[in-house]
Copies of this chain bind each other. A is one copy, B any other.
Amino acid sequence: MSQKRPVENGVSPIFVERWSPRSYDESSISEAELNTLFEAARWTPSAYNAQPWRFIYARRGTPQWQTFLDLLIPYNRAWAERASALVIAVSAQEFVPPGAKEAISTGAQSYDTGAAVAYLVLQASLSRLATHIVTGFDKDAARQVLGIPQNFKVESAIVIGRQGKPEALSPELQARETPNERQPLQNFVAEGRFGFKG
């Protein structure tokens, strides 16, 4: 573990040990392995228990793999092409509560989908898989190519694989292949009243 990431304040190491590498080993992944990650996302709490998250995925070695890779901006595609799976996370903008006839908006679709992806990538880390969430992809193209209706928002892409050697990366990316840092607690936690600079 990098000295950049001390385990402080009694937190479980599982949160600190998860990070987002870019080097993958070009191995394949089974549906069962992915289902373990989706199962973690499944138990995410959500507003009204609406469960707005939807995941569309492609695995290396399947006909859709290249289609999914081509959605990424070139900077991301250059490293993600060695991963094992690519997941597009989208969120339902409407929800019909049980027993109701009309759809509502919970207002928490993106928030809840971010939560679900957080559990997905944490389970991946527990399963000794590496993940990297990216927003650098063509969301309009994803909507068109994957047939995503207008009442779903395209949120993020999740690159999943087994971590590879840094040497597989360009020198520029090799220099970034290390867990990144975080701001200290006092920058984002306040008692009683908002007291942050930015």
Contacts and interface: CB of A to CB of B under 8 A. Distances in A.
Interface residues of A, number: 80
Contacts of A31: 191
A35 B15 contact: no
Interface of A: 5, 8-12, 15-16, 18-20, 31-32, 35-36, 38-40, 42-45, 47, 49, 51, 53-59, 62-64, 90, 92, 94, 96, 106-108, 110-119, 121-123, 126-127, 133, 135, 146-149, 152, 155-156, 180, 182-183, 185, 188-196, 198
A100 to B, nearest CB: 13
Contact of A198 (B43, B96, B189): B96
- A-B pairs, top 3 by smallest CB distance, nearest first, are A111-B114, A114-B114, A115-B118
A11 B123 contact: yes
Nearest to A118: B115
B12 A182 contact: no
B111 A194 contact: no
Given A121-B45, A156-B108, A8 B190 contact: no
Nearest to A20: B45
A110 to B, nearest CB: 4
Given A40-B15, A42-B182, A192 B62 contact: yes
Contacts of A108: 110, 114, 135, 155-156
15 contacts: A10-B127, A38-B189, A42-B183, A45-B118, A45-B121, A51-B182, A55-B188, A57-B190, A59-B191, A96-B198, A110-B110, A111-B113, A111-B155, A112-B114, A122-B122
Contacts of A10: 32, 35-36, 39, 127
Nearest to A42: B182
Given A45-B20, A108-B156, A188 B53 contact: yes
B194 A149 contact: yes
